[in-house]
Structure 1
Amino acid sequence: MLEEGKKIILFDGVCNLCNNAINFIIKHDKKDTFRYASLQSDIGKELIEQRNIDTSKLDSILLIEQKKMTYFHKSTAALHIAKQLSGLYPFLSVFLILPKFLRDWVYDIVAKNRYKWFGKKESCMIPTPELRALFIDQ
């Protein structure tokens, strides 16, 4: 189920912005670096529990590195994901030099308003058959 060496992205499965972001990442993940699961899935909950992540404060995308048992969240996760994508997106990682509180302040504004601005689904995204292998919560 969890492939060795793959990084896992946990995302809000009912958020339209999050789902569109995952589709964007899949399109630009030419090195096949990532696997995906919703925060609401059983595997998502298990990975969160294993890392003792406080879900009451979780309003974020999570990037989990299996080998190190570490994770990144909010802007740090987004920028580390961008670093692995094809095209010019890795250059966005230059923003990692900015203080985390500043980056996360911007991230939090978008996260707080994501349902209002982009909408919400009634249930988690169901990947197409050709993408199903990329999702570990299927």
Structure 2
Amino acid sequence: MSDADAAVDDDTAPLADVNPERTPVVLFDGVCNLCHGAVRFLVRHDDAGVFRFAPLDSPVGRALLERHGLPTADYDSVVLIDDAGAHRKSAAALRVARRLDSPWNLAWALRVVPRRIRDAVYDLVAEYRYGVFGRKDACEVPEPEVRERFLERSLE
């Protein structure tokens, strides 16, 4: 067995139990209060439990970013990894909204707004999110009832 095969078989490998094609993964800024609020919102409005979550700077987050050729040190964007690949900024937010419970799924209609405009608004919010919403010293531990939806086991 090669080293690569051993890494795939190793249960400690960050992506051992991760399958974004089956269960989409939302990567978020683990210290951002706005991002934590957004994740709590997603959990509440995703009755089917479609999404899994991981901080961008976690081993799972970094491994998924690397797999999709995205920078591993830029935490200014939410990233959705699903069966269609990796999506950032407004594209990620709208693709997530599309799979939420009604009426939140209606936000998918905003995809008709040109991406450059959507992303400009996204970037403005991202630039000021810490100043307006604050930040944590570390990623908070999820509540027990939703912990299984978080892929980063170090949060337990």
Q: TM-score band (shorter)?
A: over 0.9
Aligned equivalent of 2:18: 2
Q: Distance in 2 between matches of 1:39 and 1:125?
A: 14
Aligned equivalent of 2:86: 71
The code of the aligned residue for 1:119 comes to G
Q: Larger Rg: 1 or 2?
A: 2
**What are the Cα deviations for residues 33-65 of structure 1, in whole angstroms up to 9, with x where unaligned?**
100000010110010011110245551000001
**Selected match of 2:56 from 39, 59, 72:** 39
Q: Which 5+ residue runs of structure 2 have no aligned equivalent?
A: 1-16
Q: Which 5+ residue runs of structure 1 have no aligned equivalent?
A: none
Q: Distance in 2 between matches of 1:13 and 1:21?
A: 11
1:15 corresponds to 2:50: no
Structure-2 change in CA distance of 1:58 and 1:16 (3 Å): closer
**Selected match of 1:130 from 145, 150, 154:** 145
Aligned equivalent of 2:126: 111
Q: Distance in 1 between matches of 2:70 and 2:94?
A: 20
Q: Distance in 2 between matches of 1:58 and 1:14?
A: 10
Equivalent pairs: percent with the same residue?
39
- Give the root-mean-square deviation of aligned CA atoms: 1.3
Per chain length, whose mean CA-contact separation is higher, i.e. which structure has more relative contact order (CA < 8 Å, sep 6+)?
1
